[in-house]
Amino acid sequence: MFRRRRSEDVSWDLPNESEDGQGLADDEVYDEPGEAYDEPGEAYDEAAEDEWPAEPPRADGGPWDAGEPFPAQERVDLGSLQVPMGPEHEIQIVMADQLGVWVTIRHGQSELQLQAFAAPRQGSLWDVLRVETAREVREAGGESWERPGPFGTELLARVPIEQGQPASGLQVVRFVGVDGPRWFLRGLFIGPAADGGEPASLLEEIFRDTVVVRGEQPVPPRDILELRLPLEVQQAIEEQQATAAEENRFLTDLNPFERGPEFTETR
């Protein structure tokens, strides 16, 4: 099943996101060693990165890049992400200001939030974001620690149930990240799946079988890769809107108790 929902329906936002659903600040300068642009305000030039060596190939098994061979299965096309479909889970795209912000996969009492970012050709964005995420968790009144996981080093955290409200109690969440060819995929496990093991097996499989479509257009590192509704969903929404507009043509907002126009006759 595929649905869409609003960003305010999410209880714990992915770190480094603003209220309008955008990712890390658009004017933030990514100054990791070897970055192709270092001066504040300098325009991003992706071609300048070609002088740096490419990142070593990732371990086999996914997540996958759209330009490499990957196992065939039914996936829903959400633009930058192609997410495996199945009868046991529900896929939602979270919208903010008519833009896709992240994808949520629900299975039982657990969920996985997916977001894809542009990344430089060299270096590990996940190494940087883990540190930043840990700091933000701490500032929010929680705690975190690193541990090895099925996708490499992951960050396990105890965060406020209500963001910014430590008195609301703490819940366990798990952040995972994979660096791909000029992209970075981040996952957030919430609910029983946060602890790993059997409750997380299906969602981890979905994360591993997700395909990232980076595209060829220049995108500054850390910018969110575009998400969009599937074509058939867009068409259905447009048809519903057209039908509603047609029906509204024949509706009048008459109040039988409202005083109508008056006419005065002069003799």
User: Quick one: pLDDT at residue 166?
Assistant: 75
User: Quick one: pLDDT at residue 111?
Assistant: 97
Banded model confidence at residue 240, pLDDT cuts 50, 70, 90: confident
CA dihedral 193, 196, 198, 199 (to 10 degrees): -10
Asked whether the predicted pLDDT for residue 87 surpasses 90, the reply is yes
Asked whether the predicted pLDDT for residue 154 surpasses 80, the reply is yes
Angle at 206 between CA 205 and CA 212, to 5 degrees: 125
Asked whether the predicted pLDDT for residue 20 surpasses 70, the reply is no
User: Which pTM was predicted?
Assistant: 0.72
If one compares 7 and 221, the residue with the highest pLDDT of the two is 221
Banded model confidence at residue 162, pLDDT cuts 50, 70, 90: confident
Span of 26-40, 99-113, 221-235 with lowest mean pLDDT: 26-40
User: Quick one: pLDDT at residue 6?
Assistant: 55
Find out whether 209 and 86 touch, Cβ atoms under 8 Å.
no
pLDDT-above-90 percentage for the chain: 53
Span of 17-31, 39-53, 63-77, 216-230 with lowest mean pLDDT: 17-31
In this structure, the strands spanning 183-190 and 143-149 are: unpaired
